[in-house]
Amino acid sequence: MTDPLAEIAFFLQRLDWLSVVDLALVSLFFFLVINIAKGTQAVFLLRGMTFLIVVIALLSTLLPLPAFSWLLRTALPALLVAVPVIFAPEIRRALERLGRAGQGMSLGAGPSHIDSTIEAMTVASQRLSERRCGALVVIEREIRLDEYVETGVLLDARLSPELLLQIFHVNTPLHDGAVLVRDGRVAAATCVMPLSASGTLSPSPERQMGLRHRAALGISEVSDAVAIVVSEETGNISVAHNGRMIRRLDQNRLRNILFAFYRPHGGSPWPAWLESLVERVTRPRSETPGG
C-alpha cells in the first residue's frame, strides 16, 4: 500500500503555475455546475452522486479490491452515458437560465414573511372549506417551480385571505388550477401541476379525491413544495408533502403543519452533525464551557 504522505509530497513537487491554473479551471467548472443545479431537483441527485463517488474512491484507493476496481472501470462508460439522460430536464432548464443572463437566479426574501404567509393561508383555507370552494395552493420552498409558474397567469401580488377567496370563487377566470406562492406573494394562478402517477389515491374508497388531490400529490412528488387542497365536495382540508397526504385538517392543525414544513430558502445543505462540529471548532475560546 502506498504511503499517503509520500503521494502528497510527490504531488507538491510536481506542482507549478500551469497545474494551479488547471486546478482553478476544474474548480470553476464544478462551482458553475453547483450554482446551476442550486434550486432544482438535480441538487439532491448531485449530493447523492458525490457521496457515492467519494465512498467508491476511498474504497478503491485504500483497500486492495481488484474485482471492485474492474467493475468500476467497466461501469464508468455506461454511467457517463446515463448521467446526461437522467439530468436531461435539468440540463435543458440550466441552459435556458444561462441564456437569460442570470435572470430568475435570486431566491428572494428572508424568513420574515413566513408568519404572515401561514396565517393568510390558514384563514383562507378555513373560509374556503366553510363555503365548499375547491382550492389548490402550492407553496414553493427550496426547489424553484418556474416551469409551473409559466403555465399560469402571472400575478406577483401580496398574499391575503381575500385574494385567495377571490381567485377560487366559483366561475371566476382564475379559479381553475393551482395558485403558486413564492416568498410570501402569489406568483401565479391557474398553474398546471403534474398529476401523481404513484397510485397512492387509487385504493382510496372515497371518490372525493379527484384531480386537485392528484395534482397536489404530483407536485409534492417531483419537488419539495407543500400543497394545500380544499375539497369542493366535502370542504375537507388536506396537505401534501413528499408524496404523502395528511387529510381532514382544521385551521389550527393546518397552521402547525405549515410551521413544521415551511422553511425559509437558503437552508444549509450540510448535515446537522457537521454544522455542530464546525461551530464547535470555530467558536471563540471565551464562549466554550469553562473558558
* Statement: residue 283 has pLDDT above 60: no
**Number of CB atoms found within 10 A of residue 203's CB:** 6
Residues 74 and 164 in one domain: no
Q: Judge whether 53 lies within some domain.
A: yes
Ranges 66-75, 90-99, 184-193, most confident: 184-193
pLDDT in tens, 6-45: 767 766 777 777 877 888 888 888 777 777 666 555 666 6
**226: Cβ–Cβ under 8 A, 6 or more apart, which residues?**
138, 139, 141, 220, 239, 240, 241, 258, 261, 262
Q: Judge whether 280 lies within some domain.
A: no
Cell digits of residue 20? 494551479
Q: What are phi and psi of 142, to 5 degrees?
A: -80, -40
Q: Judge whether 273 lies within some domain.
A: no
Give the closest residue to 192 by CA, choosing from 166, 161, 222. 222
Residues 69 and 122 in one domain: no
Residues 75 and 124 in one domain: no
Of the pLDDT bands very low, low, confident and very high (cuts 50, 70, 90), residue 271 is very low
pLDDT in tens, 164-200: 999 999 888 998 899 999 988 999 999 999 988 766 5
* Statement: residue 213 has pLDDT above 80: yes
Residues 155 and 32 in one domain: no
CATH number of the domain encompassing residue 128: 3.40.1700.10
Q: Which residue range forms the structural domain that includes residue 157?
A: 111-261
- Please name the residue ranges forming H helices in 63-199: 66-86, 88-99, 114-130, 146-149, 161-167
CA-CA-CA-CA dihedral for 200, 202, 208, 209, to nearest 10: 30
Position 42 scores a pLDDT of 62
**204: Cβ–Cβ under 8 A, 6 or more apart, which residues?**
none
The span from the CA of 215 to the CA of 57, in Å, is 41
CA distances in angstroms from 137 to 43, 77, 192, 221, listed in the order given: 25, 43, 12, 15
Residues 121 and 243 in one domain: yes
Q: Count how many domains the chain has.
A: 2
* Mean predicted lDDT score pLDDT of the chain: 76
Residue labelled with grid coordinates 392543525: 253
Ranges 141-145, 157-161, 258-262, most confident: 157-161
Q: Are 228 and 261 in contact (CB under 8 A)?
A: no
Residues 254 and 116 in one domain: yes
Residues 83 and 142 in one domain: no
* Statement: residue 268 has pLDDT above 80: no
The beta strand positions in the chain, using DSSP E, are: 135-139, 153-158, 178-182, 185-191, 226-230, 237-241, 244-249
